[in-house]
Structure 1
Amino acid sequence: MNAEQLHAIIASGLACTHLEVDGDGRHWSAVVVSEAFQGLRLIARHQKVYATLGQKIQNDEVHALSMKTYTPAEWAALPR
């Protein structure tokens, strides 16, 4: 799996206003911004992202995924 494939999988399962994916083929990091995170705790946000990966996590195609998850308002408020 490559970054473009992982990006496409997450984007197809979760409406994202911003999505960045980086990694080495097994260990990944992602920044995911979605309205779907509104009102959710961190664990629920991560569960939403993991749900898009389905069997790919269970089959170890994606060994590790570290995430930063934001609502669009949280993302807009971050200093850059």
Structure 2
Amino acid sequence: MSLEQQLIERLQTLAPSHLEVINESAGHGGYFPGKESHFKVIIVSDEFNGLRLVQRHQKVYALASDLMNPGQIHALAIHAYLPSEWQGQ
């Protein structure tokens, strides 16, 4: 299973109403076809209710932590929203 698929599967545990996982590896040095090192995550979930932005990020990082070993995910840009914040985006 690809790193992207593993990341999506883990983020699904937050029951997102919207989820995008975008492989941005091609825009970074050392890229080769199939490389999975840089991702952008856009996630909208009620699970973030009552959490500050840093706590939302920590929640996402906790799900991806073992995928961020050397040679795997190098960078993870996180955009985490509540459904009410996502409306109008």
* Residue segments in structure 2 that go unaligned for 5+ positions in a row: 26-35
TM norm structure 2: 0.74
Aligned residue identity for 2:53: L
TM-score, with structure 1 as normaliser? 0.81
What letter is aligned with 1:8? E
Q: CA deviation at 1:6?
A: 2.1
Alignment of 1:44-59 (within 5 A): 44-57=55-68, 59=69
Structure with greater Cα Rg: 2
Aligned residues: percent identity? 41
Give, as a single letter, the amino acid of the residue that structure 1 aligns with 2:20: E
Alignment gaps of 5+ in structure 1: none
| RMSD value, Cα | 1.5
Distance 1:5 1:53 in 2: 9
In 2, Cα distance between the equivalents of 1:14 and 1:63?
22
After superposing on structure 2, the runs of 4+ consecutive aligned residues of structure 1 that deviate more than 6 Å are none
Tell me how many residue pairs correspond in the alignment: 76
The residue number in structure 2 matching 1:72 is 83
